[in-house]
Amino acid sequence: MDAAQTTLETMTTFALAAADGKLFAGRAGGLYRSPDAGASWEYASAQLGEEGTIATTSLVARGRDVFAGINGGVLRSSDGGGTWFTAALSNPPPLVVAMALSPAYEDDGALLAASAEDGIFASTDRGGTWRGWNFGLIDLNVNALAWATPALAFAGTESGIFRSRNGGRAWRALPFPMDLAPVISLQLSPDFETDQTLYAGSEAHGLLVTRDGGENWEAVSLPVEGEAVNAMANTAQGLALALDEYLLLGRDGDGGASWETLRHFPGQAGLALLAQGDHLHLALSGGEVLTLDL
């Protein structure tokens, strides 16, 4: 399995996204883009401030629309990252750590933003304006989001997992084992509407899965134990996991029972994953972005 590697200085890369033929990386030093699938990088948001002044902690994209979570707001672009605008959230400024687009984003223009201490914010005008949607969300420390249908969304928090059945307007805690929290990553099965499968990555207890939409959970046996599952991505070959020191791939059709170790990176953590066709991009805590051919 071949891999190409580029390094974005030494600053941590938190998030990856792709739009309009470009690859975007959210980093401690700002938002960067690559026109050549990660071979080279350039600072993407110069109009918003000098390089190194705006830490970018989350990214989502659809079509030519790109959204980047920062401290206190969301950067948005509707032209594939050519120009950027800032949409402020609330005061004091929350740190946006995860975002999710509605499955019907092209029609409803809706997206959710999760913050480290202030819960969930929602926009229904393609990121122009935002408001808090925290009814029933008793844990405002939100680490991850997954949006399954226009009505059904999930939030991973410091204490467990919450579910919304009305597009994020109200939330209810699921029966997730609290001793296995916090939940730091979520990934829907590509066939969620039929198999009701959702994966939850924990900080210290590996990977858990529900096959009934969140009512019952079980541990997934992995070849390495006790590592944080920092990020997940669905690939054409199966589910990819970015752990503290390993990149794993669970092959399709085996229910996650058979896992292959794709990479071992001692002393670093895999923090973000992005699947593009037969390619998988992996961001490491040391600043490297690996591109693997699956």
Which two three-digit tokens encode residue 232?
A: 């997940």
Give the pLDDT band (50/70/90) at residue 6: low
Task: Specify the pLDDT at position 96.
Answer: 96
Task: Sort strands 172-173 and 238-243 into parallel, antiparallel or unpaired.
Answer: unpaired
pLDDT over 70 (residue 52)? no
Could you read off the pLDDT of 133-184 as tens digits, one per residue?
999 999 999 999 999 999 999 999 999 999 999 999 999 999 999 999 999 9
Task: Specify the pLDDT at position 50.
Answer: 59
Give the pLDDT band (50/70/90) at residue 294: confident
Question: Long-range CB contacts (< 8 A, 24+ apart) of 188-196?
Answer: 188/146, 188/148, 188/234, 189/234, 190/234, 192/148, 193/148, 193/149
**Average pLDDT of the segment spanning 39-59:** 79
Structural domains for the chain: 91-220 (2.130.10.10)
pLDDT over 80 (residue 9)? no
Could you read off the pLDDT of 206-250 as tens digits, one per residue?
999 999 999 999 999 999 988 999 999 999 999 999 999 999 999
Task: Specify the pLDDT at position 3.
Answer: 56
pLDDT over 80 (residue 114)? yes
> Rounded mean pLDDT of the chain?
92
Q: Judging by beta carbons within 10 Å of its beta carbon (0-12, 13-18, 19+), is residue 51 exposed, middle or buried?
A: middle
What is d(CA 119, CA 117) in angstroms, rounded to the nearest whole number? Answer: 6
Give the pLDDT band (50/70/90) at residue 44: confident
What Å distances lie between residue 229 and 165, 202, 242, CA to CA? 26, 6, 6
32: number of CA atoms within 13 Å, CB side?
30
